[in-house]
Amino acid sequence: MTRRNARKHIFNLVFQSEFNKDLGIKDVLDTYNDEYEQLNKYETDFVSREYRGISANLEAIDSYIEKYSRGWSVARLAKTDLAILRIGVYEIMFDDDVPAGVAVNEAVELAKEFSGDKAPSFINAILTNIVRAKED
């Protein structure tokens, strides 16, 4: 599995979590893994590690989104856009294995596939501003 495909699984998990807030991380992962038996151990471990990282840093991730989305609170964002932004911010700020430019590009690609016509440029702008602030 490519990282791009893995991000689609991570997107599914982060998106679903918005609707299953009462479930713990382990329950969410177990349920998801039961649905996708075709994932091998490496893939399951990667998706799980990324999802756990996003979940553990959710408050900080959301604060970056709030700060750089200029006028859009997390509560107002479309759930698909929010899930994509959470993945992008996590990769930019907390995952040293992913270059910032790759994180932005992959988030834009997810937006093209899963969100509306205006979402890719919106997500690109927010994540690019976060990258610039991180580099300063």
19 versus 36: the higher-pLDDT residue is 19
Judge contact between 125 and 107, C-beta under 8 A: no
Distance (Å, whole) CA 126 – CA 124: 6
- pLDDT single digits (tens) 43-87: 888 899 999 999 999 999 999 999 999 888 999 999 999 999 999
Distance (Å, whole) CA 94 – CA 53: 8
In the prediction, which pLDDT does 60 show? 98
Residues 6+ apart with CB under 8 A from 107: 84, 85, 87, 88, 91, 123, 124, 127
Look at the chain and count its residues: 136
pTM: 0.93
Element (H, E) at 136: none
Ordered by where they begin, the domains of the chain are 3-135 (1.10.940.10)
